[in-house]
Structure formats: C-alpha cells, structure tokens
C-alpha cells in the first residue's frame, strides 16, 4: 500500500478477532440505526453492514429492553456465521445496564463510554469507574469517546476559568478543543488506575467541523500512543457529509493519524445504511491505505463522448465487480488490487488503458467504431459490434482467472477468447 504514509505508532488493541493499531490495517466501523430491542432487525442490519465490509459494528444500548437483547443478537449473528464484533454504545445509564445484564457485558466485543454523560457531580467518577470495572471483569477493551456536543461541563467550566485568568486568553473554541483532548486523556488514565490494561483502550474526540477535527486529533495524537478512532460526527447527508468526512479524514490519514474510522452519514429516508461503509472503504482505497475491491478508472465525459455508452459500461463493470469481488477474493489472492479502465475516447483512453491491469478504450464521436482492449500494457484485442459490453465483461472474468488464479485452464480460456475476438474482427474487415 502507500509507502509515503507512515502510521503513527500506537499500542495494539484486540476487539475479538479484529486488531486495532499501527501494526494492523485501519479498520472500518459502522453503526446500526435499528432499535436494539428488536433483535431480529438489528441482527439483519449488522449482517448487512458486515457483508458490505464493516469490520466492527456499534449498536445502541440505551434501555433495559435493548441490553436484554444484546446476547440474543450475538447468538443470531453467530448462527449466520457473521463474526463481526459488536461495540456497545453507552450513554447516561451504561453502569446500570452492564451491571443488570451480565450476558450483555459478555456478548459485546468493546464498550464505548462517553465520559461527558456518565453522570453528574460526585457520581460521575463512581459511575465511570463502575463501567471500567465491568470491562476489566470481562476483559473487554473500551473506547473512551468524548464529543463536542456532550463535553464534561465541569471540566469545560474549570478550563474556561483558568483560560480567563491568562494574560492572553485563548478564544472559546480553542479552549473547547483543548478540553476534548484533556477529557479523553484524563479518563484514559483514570481507567488505567482502575485496572484496564493500556492495550485495552481506544480514544476518540469527535466534532462536527473539519478544521476543529484536524486540530483536535493532531493534538491528541501527539500526547499518547493509544489507537485513535476517527470520525466527523454529524457529518450531514449526501454529498455534503461525504465531502466533509473525506476532507477531514484524508488530512489526518495522510499524517498517519487514525486506526479505526466511521463515516457518520445522515441517511436519506429509507436510505441504505451500508453507504457509510462503502464511503469509508473508498477513502482508504483512494489514499492507497487499503484495497477492498478492484478500482475502476473512467473518464468524466466531454463533447467527444456524445454517446452515453461509456457511462453505461462503466456502471455495468462496477456492478459486476461489486458482485464478483467477494467470490474472487476467496479464490484469487490480490485481485482487490486490480485496476480496470473504461475510457470514452482516444484522447486519454489508450494511455489509461495501458496503465491499468485491463482496460478498454471506447470510440468517441467521429472515431472508428472499434474498442481496443489492453491487458498489462499490451493491446490484445479489438471489440466491435453490439456485444462489446458482454465481450469485455467476459474478457475481464477470464483475465482474473488467468492473472490472479494462475490457472492453466484460465490462461487457455483467455487465449481462446482473444483468438475468437481476433477472428471476429478479421471476419468483419473482410466484408
């Protein structure tokens, strides 16, 4: 992957079979939006998110009914061979729920604790420590997740008062950013005092504005070696949420900061929750940090590409790859690193196709109605006629079998297909 990015050194944390930290790939996390008390619906959504590529899934544990169903959800997932660890999201009453439902405490892979809302006044430390003690009892890691919208008011007031006495006080936003870092670190070290090993702690400090997120995580990363969970909280809906999250996380990831991430998109009504997983994967793959599925290079179109055929073929190939990749990955190691080019004219088409593992350069307006195909830098075939889309898809499948499968049968099949395409072109030309 990208050798230009040096990951910040961290301790290693195990959440079930998933490893977090600088010695492991950056982990994609997602969160359900079902009522956790509905075990069947929650298990279905967890399964869907896991199949989309989520490696950790957080579920809300906010009531007795929800806590009572966590072990059942875990059992339902295990029956379906869905091994993704569950992260319990606790606010306000987590100390009571974890105490009352030991089967919930056992079934979860990690606890997410927000120190800003575990209690007020003298009860805050007691209730926080109670949750930490339960995590120790069941040997569970914890994510201490502070949030701009629920920051410990006593800590913030204390820091604001201290700032006001300075000769040159900071502005309120700067004090809040510093308070987020102080809250995360103070509570991490308090958890260690209670008994949590240092390799059982993950930190997060989420805000909803890009520049604030970057500043907070840079500060936090420089103060500790705990793994950090990244995410722009309340990122928004649609392109706004995607752009904001991508902008903030790309800066931090480029600096080696971040060990898990979640893209907190607001879904459209009845929208697909899996979209946040796909966006997270695309960010990591685009930056060269991980590979999840073969990537497709496609031109945006211009006056030369008056036909929409190249758009349709790009869409078809991307859909084909989404379906085939889970099958291919179990059969053909390394196929997720494959690059495919679907180009719309001769300007950049041949060049991009040569640079890809396999590519096709479609004819633009006024060009010869033929589509050269390139494999590993060499032009190997020219497709013509109404069956170009299916012919290219078949060649793509054969290429994967030959290149990544290393099978003689795959190479023979690819050779036969290329010969067939060559004969089709010769036959058409002779007419």
**CATH code: domain of residue 264:** 3.20.20.20
Residues 156 and 195 in one domain: yes
Q: Which residue has the higher pLDDT, 121 or 89?
A: 89
Q: Which residue has the higher pLDDT, 250 or 419?
A: 250
The enclosing H or E element of 216 equals: helix 210-221
Confidence grade of residue 128 (pLDDT, cut at 50, 70, 90): very high
Mean pLDDT of 324-337: 95
Q: List 20's β-bridge partners, or say none.
A: 13
Residues 162 and 226 in one domain: yes
Confidence grade of residue 338 (pLDDT, cut at 50, 70, 90): very high
Mean pLDDT of 128-154: 96
Q: List 247's β-bridge partners, or say none.
A: none
Mean pLDDT value across the chain: 94
User: What is residue 421's predicted lDDT score, i.e. its pLDDT?
Assistant: 72
Residues 221 and 74 in one domain: yes
Confidence grade of residue 406 (pLDDT, cut at 50, 70, 90): confident
Residue pair 105/140 in contact by the 8 Å Cβ criterion:
yes
User: What is residue 74's predicted lDDT score, i.e. its pLDDT?
Assistant: 98
Residue 186 clears pLDDT 60, i.e. is over it: yes
CA distance 34 to 32: 6
Instruction: Give me 287's structure tokens.
Output: 């930056």
Between the CA of residue 331 and those of 82, 261, 336, 356, what are the distances in Å?
20, 28, 11, 21
Residues 236 and 347 in one domain: no
User: What is residue 100's predicted lDDT score, i.e. its pLDDT?
Assistant: 98
Q: Does residue 342 form part of some domain? A: yes
Residue 269 clears pLDDT 80, i.e. is over it: yes
Q: Does residue 382 form part of some domain? A: yes
Q: Which domain holds residue 130?
A: 12-287
User: What is residue 96's predicted lDDT score, i.e. its pLDDT?
Assistant: 97
Whether residue 302 is annotated as binding a ligand: the answer is yes
Whether residue 223 is annotated as binding a ligand: the answer is no
Q: Does residue 226 form part of some domain? A: yes
Q: Does residue 400 form part of some domain? A: yes
Residue 270 clears pLDDT 90, i.e. is over it: no
Residues 216 and 350 in one domain: no
Between the CA of residue 84 and those of 59, 276, 339, what are the distances in Å?
12, 16, 28
Q: Does residue 3 form part of some domain? A: no
How many structural domains is the chain composed of?
A: 2
Domain closes at, from 271, 287, 303:
287
User: What is residue 234's predicted lDDT score, i.e. its pLDDT?
Assistant: 80
DSSP for 9-77, written as a single string: P---EEETTEEESTTSPPEEEEE--S-TT-HHHHHHHHHHHHHHT-SEEEEE--SHHHHHHHHHHHHHH
Confidence grade of residue 426 (pLDDT, cut at 50, 70, 90): low
Mean pLDDT of 74-101: 98
Whether residue 422 is annotated as binding a ligand: the answer is no
Residue 431 clears pLDDT 80, i.e. is over it: no
Domain closes at, from 245, 266, 287:
287
CA distance 419 to 421: 5
Q: Does residue 1 form part of some domain? A: no
Mean pLDDT of 52-67: 98
Mean pLDDT of 286-305: 94
Residues 299 and 151 in one domain: no
Domain closes at, from 287, 312, 335:
287
Q: Which of 31-40, 270-279, 362-371, 422-431 has the lowest mean pLDDT?
A: 422-431
Tokens 């078949």 belong to residue: 394
Q: Does residue 7 form part of some domain? A: no
Residue 424 clears pLDDT 80, i.e. is over it: no
Mean pLDDT of 220-240: 94
Percentage of the residues of the chain whose pLDDT score is greater than 90: 86
Residues 170 and 303 in one domain: no
Residue 188 clears pLDDT 70, i.e. is over it: yes
In 55-171, alpha helices (H): 64-79, 94-100, 102-107, 122-137, 153-164
Whether residue 129 is annotated as binding a ligand: the answer is no
Residue 427 clears pLDDT 60, i.e. is over it: no
Q: Which of 10-14, 321-325, 333-337, 412-416 has the lowest mean pLDDT?
A: 412-416
Residues 267 and 313 in one domain: no
59-89 per-residue burial string, b: 16 or more CB within 10 A, e: under 16? bbbbeeebbbbbbbbbebbeeeebebbbbbb
Mean pLDDT of 372-400: 94
CA distance 89 to 110: 9
Residues 45 and 145 in one domain: yes
Residues 85 and 190 in one domain: yes
Residue 340 maps to which CATH number? 3.30.413.10
Residues 85 and 198 in one domain: yes
Residue 425 clears pLDDT 60, i.e. is over it: no
Instruction: Give me 372's structure tokens.
Output: 């050269």
Confidence grade of residue 430 (pLDDT, cut at 50, 70, 90): very low
Mean pLDDT of 55-78: 98
Residues 261 and 397 in one domain: no
Mean pLDDT of 363-371: 91
Mean pLDDT of 313-326: 95
Q: List 379's β-bridge partners, or say none.
A: 374
Confidence grade of residue 47 (pLDDT, cut at 50, 70, 90): very high
Residue 241 clears pLDDT 80, i.e. is over it: yes
Q: Does residue 2 form part of some domain? A: no
pTM: 0.93
Mean pLDDT of 293-308: 91
Burial class for 368, CB neighbours closer than 10 Å (0-12, 13-18, 19+): exposed
């Amino acid at each position: 992957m990208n050798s230009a990015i040096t990951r910040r050194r961290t301790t290693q944390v195990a959440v079930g079979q998933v490893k977090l930290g600088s010695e492991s790939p950056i982990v994609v996390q997602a969160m359900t939006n079902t009522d956790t008390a509905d075990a069947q619906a929650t298990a279905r959504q967890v399964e869907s998110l896991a199949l989309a590529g989520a490696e950790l899934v957080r579920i809300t544990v906010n009531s007795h009914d929800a806590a009572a169903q966590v072990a059942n959800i875990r059992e339902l997932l295990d029956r379906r061979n869905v091994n993704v660890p569950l992260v319990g999201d606790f606010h306000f009453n987590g100390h009571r729920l974890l105490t009352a439902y030991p089967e919930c405490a056992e079934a979860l892979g990690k606890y997410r604790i927000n120190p800003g809302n575990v209690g007020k006044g003298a009860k805050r430390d007691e209730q926080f420590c109670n949750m930490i003690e339960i995590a120790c009892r069941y040997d569970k890691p914890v994510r201490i997740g502070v949030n701009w919208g629920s920051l410990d008011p006593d800590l913030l007031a204390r820091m604001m008062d201290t700032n006001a006495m300075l000769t040159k006080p900071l502005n309120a936003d700067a004090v809040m950013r510093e308070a987020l870092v102080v809250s995360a670190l103070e509570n991490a070290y308090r958890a260690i005092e209670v008994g949590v090993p240092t390799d059982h702690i993950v930190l997060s400090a989420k805000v909803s504005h890009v520049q604030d997120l970057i500043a907070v995580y840079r500060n936090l990363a420089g103060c500790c070696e705990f793994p950090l969970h990244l995410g722009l909280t309340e990122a928004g809906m649609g392109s706004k949420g995607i752009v904001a999250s991508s902008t903030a996380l790309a800066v931090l990831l480029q600096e080696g900061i971040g060990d898990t991430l979640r893209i907190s998109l607001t879904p459209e009504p009845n929208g697909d929750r899996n979209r946040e997983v796909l966006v997270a994967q695309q960010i990591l793959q685009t930056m060269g940090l991980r590979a999840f599925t073969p990537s497709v290079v496609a031109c945006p179109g211009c006056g030369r590409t008056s036909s929409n055929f190249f758009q349709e073929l790009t869409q078809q190939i991307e859909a084909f790859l989404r379906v085939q990749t889970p099958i291919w990955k179990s059969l053909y190691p390394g196929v997720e690193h494959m690059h495919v080019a679907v180009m719309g004219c001769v300007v950049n088409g041949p060049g991009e196709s040569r640079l890809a593992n396999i590519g096709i350069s479609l004819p633009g307006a006024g060009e010869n109605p033929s589509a050269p195909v390139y494999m590993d830098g060499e032009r190997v075939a020219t497709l013509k006629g109404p069956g170009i889309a299916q012919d290219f898809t078949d060649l793509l499948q054969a290429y994967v079998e030959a290149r990544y499968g290393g099978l003689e049968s795959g190479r023979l099949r690819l050779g036969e297909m290329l010969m067939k395409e060559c004969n089709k072109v010769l036959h058409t030309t002779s007419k």
